[in-house]
Amino acid sequence: MEESKMGNQIRKNKGTGQGRRGRSKKGAKQQASAPIAKKKVDFFLRYPDAKEVYLVGDFNSWTIGKHPMYKTAGGKWRKTVTLAKGTYEYRFVVDGNWYTDPDREKKTNPFGDENNIITVN
């Protein structure tokens, strides 16, 4: 048995609970999609003479100031960021100057400089 509703022309088949547009009956619970797995990732930079360091990358739209790093004992700078699986490019801004860590994996960017790369599994 079919019922029609003139206002929005939805037809329901009795027993299926869904109309022709795939809508569920009023009050039916929708199954939630699985959350994206994320992981805490520690970024370090050894730059003992720096006054301020920021972490920038494609994970924060290259926004300076969004991820300030803090200085630890021994002149290391650190920042922990939560990231989903994937490969990311990043750099540091050290006292106002862009800096790529020479001790980490790198790739040439479109501007002819190098970005560091990190892969989160």
> Would the pTM count as exceeding 0.85?
no
Indicate if the alpha-carbon torsion angle 53, 83, 104, 113 is positive or negative.
Answer: negative
Confidence of residue 45 (pLDDT cuts 50, 70, 90): very high
Closest to 42 measured CA to CA, from 104, 102, 98, 108: 104
Rounded Cα–Cα distance for residues 94 and 101 (Å): 11
Amino acid, res. 107:
K
Under CATH, domain 38-120 is a member of which superfamily? Immunoglobulins (2.60.40.10)
Query: Is 110 a residue whose pLDDT tops 70?
Result: yes
Grouping H, G, I as helix, E, B as strand and the rest as coil, residue 51 is coil
Q: How far is CA 71 from CA 26, 46, 59, 95, in A?
A: 55, 9, 22, 13
Structure token pair of residue 97 = 């100057």
Write the pLDDT tens digit of every residue in 4-44.
333 333 333 444 444 444 444 555 556 677 778 899 999 99
Q: What is the mean pLDDT of residues 39-51?
A: 96
Rounded Cα–Cα distance for residues 115 and 112 (Å): 10
Q: Which residue has the higher pLDDT, 4 or 118?
A: 118
Q: Chain-wide mean pLDDT for the chain?
A: 82
Domain boundaries, the chain: 38-120
Q: Which residue has the higher pLDDT, 7 or 117?
A: 117
